[in-house]
Chain A
Amino acid sequence: MNWGETVRTALEAIRSRRMRSSLTMLGILIGIAAVMLTVGLGQGAQAQVRSQINQLGSNLLIVSPGSTTTTTGIRGGRGSASTLTTRDATALASPVVAPDIARVAPVVTGSQSLTAGSTNWTTTVVGTTPDWLAVRARSMTEGRFFTTAELNDAASVVVLGSTTASQLFVAQDALGQAVNINGTNMTVIGILNTAGSSTTTDDDDQALVPQTTYSSRIASSGNASGISTLYIQANSTDSLSAAYQETQKTLLATHGVTVAASDFTISSQESLLSTATATDQTLTVLLAGIAAISLLVGGIGVMNIMLVSVTERIREIGLRKALGATPRVVRRQFLVEASTLGLVGGVLGIGLGLLGAQVLPHFLNQPVTIPPVAGIGALGVALIIGIAAGVYPASRAARLAPIDALRSE
């Protein structure tokens, strides 16, 4: 009996027990769909976090001030000390000291109320340098970013995020208008392109001013050179780790501390990503594990049904053997039957998974990304489960002695 015949016989056997076959396939179907959806949800969440972090810019290192330790030994959290200064930024920007660093953008932020005419809007005001635009990979829709000259002069100019601009200037063009920040009138010289918002910050709702302007006219405290974050862009992805080393070495030298007592933290996008996705990943693995168990249960269902089927069809097996079926042919028939149950269940499960991937985001507000390889993998897993579940029942059928099988009632 060739393979075509075997497959035909198996399909007929499955068709002739429609109800039972569909219930058996349902187990595999649900398992495969569950695995695909949990993996898809995990992937979707990771992709979302990744895009948020990539949105920061490319080949970025982010330096935050470290924690302080008071004389009584109480440590503050990260950023509790304002140890970074513009001098650090200047040192790092030097191509001699740090050849692998392309650009440095020191950033100092604060929440301020902005007023334009009778409208006011509270947002994050960022004091930085002209390199910010390139480091953070942003672009302008209108106007321009501030220049080095304006930075040196502490000019009263401001660049607005698109949300901020539309909130302050509802029906008119913001460009060239005056905005009052903390008592200082500033001229709007540019509007940033939209970047989209992440869960924690809205990159479209901010106002950027030269760092010198910020420290001299907006900041309340007197620490003129203090900054809250240093964004450092490496020359390329390959020089990222060299840039990391250079940053660390330079900052340790300028701060006069050892590695053990370092008062700053350098994070890369990768380290931010791994921190951000660690929880997601744990959850995904957990859920996928539960889904995999449901798939296993589905596989046990296939095996159970195949065993019942062998017992029920002892006479058929005996007859087929009497008519000339060799043990191998009988084994193959039952294996094909089991793997067909697995495969068809798998195909339907992938269908349900893909459907779920379309429907779920509407309810969860969470993207579901099913990688194509997951579909192929799921199909392979379903087939393997079918075959594995069929091996034992099939070899039992193959081993049946024809006389015993024929004699049974």
Chain B
Amino acid sequence: MSTLPFPDESSAPILRLVNVGKMYATGSVEVEALRGVSMEVARGEYVAIMGPSGSGKSTLMHILGCLDVPTSGSYDLAGEDVSTMDEDALAHVRNRQIGFVFQQFNLLASLSAWRNVELPLCYSGVGRAERKKRAVKALERVGLGDRLDHRPGELSGGQQQRVAVARALVTDPALILADEPTGNLDSHSTADVLRLFAELHDQGRTIVLITHEHDVAESAQRTVRIFDGAIATDAQMDSTPASFASAR
């Protein structure tokens, strides 16, 4: 738990990584996937994390998403030190603070769109009627208000990813963490999903997007490049698009 006082919550960073390291033991060989990563992400920021495969960006994403814990260093998410939490506590943090968007969409094929979206709320003990209301609202927000009862198989790839975004939004999380969200989409759907992220950013959402595509990374405000398990560059975009400029 961070002891630093936060007099003005909005100015405090949502994410703060201090010297985070991650070692994997594969057989007798130890692989250092992350070596001393330190970064902060402020509330409302839209950050792209880039890096070639093997750079450690997936490991960083797992740690940011509380799916894994660092072997050294500390990680504060929304004012809580999550680097020392146990599995149950991490599950709660994931449930309340993080909205995931995956490359594979990861929707449950047997459930309709709104049932997929309400899933995180089931695990936080929200009542049934309230869950449905919030799921419908989230689906309307991503423009799928007319596809509530469609199953994933009856939706296009872009629509499925928007359902996944709605699922990420439904808990009103501190952070939306998107792992290659456009990796399985055609250019039209990619533009669609990126426009949605831009809109969410305009509304003050904090978004961290992991990608290896430059044009996807360009939609973000700030790009962090990972190389060999460490941060190589961390740059604000020079030319912020008009829509962002108006919002900030």
The answer to whether A and B belong to the same complex is: yes
Contact bitstring B84-112, A, C-beta under 8 A = 1, else 0: 00011001101110001010101010110
CB distance from B219 to the nearest CB of A (A): 24
A355 within 8 A of B: no
B122 at the interface (CB under 8 A from A): yes
For A218, the chain B residues whose CB sits under 8 A away are none
Q: Give the interface residue-count category, chain A.
A: 20 to 34
Q: Nearest residue in B to A15 (C-beta to C-beta)?
A: B110
Q: Which of A315-360 contact B (CB under 8 A)?
A: 315-316, 318-329
Min CB distance, B35 to chain A, in Å?
A: 19
Question: Shortest CB–CB separation between residue A145 and chain B, in angstroms?
Answer: 77
Q: How far is the CA of A325 from the CA of B90 in the complex (A)?
A: 10
- Is the C-beta of B212 less than 8 angstroms from some C-beta in chain A? no
Residues of chain B within 8 A of A238, CB atoms compared: none
A406 contacts partner chain B, Cβ-Cβ < 8 Å = yes
Interface residues of B in 108-141 (CB under 8 A from A): 108, 110-111, 119-120, 122-125
- How far, in whole Å, are A378 and B67 apart by their CA atoms in the complex? 43
Interface pair B67/A324, CB less than 8 Å apart: no
Cα(A168)–Cα(B122), bound, Å: 83
Task: Give CA–CA (A325, B87) in the complex, Å.
Answer: 10
Whether B108 and A406, one on each chain, are in contact in the complex, defined by CB atoms closer than 8 angstroms, is no
Query: Is A285 interfacial (CB 8 A cutoff)?
Result: no
Main secondary structure of the interface of A (DSSP, over half): helix
Q: Are A324 and B102 in contact (CB under 8 A)?
A: no
- Closest Cβ of chain A to B152, distance in Å, is 12
Chain A 1-35 near chain B by CB (<8 Å), digits 1 or 0: 11001000000110010000000000000000000
A402 interface residue (CB < 8 Å to B): yes
**Complexed CA–CA distance, A325 and B125 (Å):** 11
A315 to B94, CA, bound (A): 17
Complex: A322 Cα to B177 Cα, angstroms: 11
Q: Are A1 and B123 in touch, CB under 8 angstroms? A: yes
- CB of A293 within 8 Å of the partner chain: no
Q: Is the CB of B122 within 8 A of A5?
A: yes
- The CA of A326 and the CA of B111, in the complex, are separated in Å by 21
| Contact in complex: A319, B125 (CB < 8 Å) | no
Question: Contacts of B44 on A, CB cut-off 8 Å?
Answer: none
Whole-angstrom distance between the Cβ of A394 and the nearest chain B Cβ: 16
Tell me if B87 and A327 are in contact (CB < 8 A): yes
Q: Are B110 and A326 in contact (CB under 8 A)?
A: no
Chain B interface residue count, Cβ-Cβ cutoff 8 angstroms: 25
B91 cross-chain contacts in A, Cβ below 8 A = 321, 324-327
Provide the bound-state CA to CA distance between A403 and B68, in Å.
Answer: 7
The distance in angstroms between the C-alpha atoms of A318 and B94, with both chains bound, is 12
Judged by a CB distance under 8 angstroms, whether B65 is at the interface is yes
B225: Cβ under 8 A from any A Cβ: no
Question: How many angstroms between the C-alpha atoms of A211 and B117 in the bound complex?
Answer: 93
Is there contact, CB below 8 Å, between B87 and A323?
Answer: no
Residues in B neighbouring A329, C-beta threshold 8 A? 123
Q: Which residue of B has the minimal Cβ distance to A5?
A: B122
Question: B94 contacts which chain A residues (CB < 8 A)?
Answer: 321-324
With a cutoff of 8 Å between Cβ atoms, the chain B residues found around residue A13 in the complex are 110
Q: Taking the complex as formed, is B147 at the interface, i.e. its CB lies under 8 A from any CB of chain A? A: no
With A328-B88, A406-B106 known as contacts, the answer to whether A322 contacts B100 (CB < 8 A) is yes
Measured between beta carbons, the chain A residues less than 8 angstroms from B125 are 1-2
Nearest Cβ distance between residue A326 and chain B, in whole angstroms? 4
Q: Which residue of A lies closest to B89 (CB)?
A: A326
Complex: A325 Cα to B108 Cα, angstroms: 15
C-alpha spacing A264/B110, complex, angstroms: 78
Closest residue on chain A to residue B102 by CB atoms: A406
B46 shortest CB reach to chain A, Å: 22
Which A residues lie within 8 Å of B95 (CB)? 323-324
How far does the Cβ of B123 sit from chain A's closest Cβ, in whole Å?
4
Within the complex, the shortest CB–CB distance from A315 to chain B, in Å, comes to 7
Which of chain B's residues has its CB closest to A330's CB?
B91
- How many angstroms between the C-alpha atoms of A320 and B94 in the bound complex? 11
Residues of B within 8 A of A402 (CB): 67
A322 to B87, CA, bound (A): 11
**27 residue pairs bridging A and B, Cβ less than 8 Å apart:** A1-B123, A12-B110, A12-B111, A13-B110, A16-B110, A316-B108, A319-B108, A320-B119, A320-B123, A322-B100, A322-B106, A323-B94, A323-B119, A323-B120, A324-B91, A324-B94, A324-B95, A324-B96, A324-B123, A325-B91, A325-B123, A326-B87, A326-B88, A327-B87, A327-B91, A403-B62, A406-B102
Binding site for B on A (CB under 8 A): 1-2, 5, 12-13, 16, 315-316, 318-329, 401-403, 406
Q: List residues of chain B with CB under 8 Å of any chain A CB.
A: 62, 65, 67-68, 87-88, 91-92, 94-96, 100, 102, 104, 106, 108, 110-111, 119-120, 122-125, 167
Q: A324-B95, A324-B124 are in contact. List 8 more A-B contacts (CB 8 A).
A: A16-B110, A318-B106, A320-B119, A322-B100, A323-B167, A324-B91, A327-B88, A327-B91
The 7 residue pairs across chains A and B that have the minimum distance between CB atoms: A324-B95, A324-B123, A326-B91, A16-B110, A323-B120, A319-B106, A326-B88
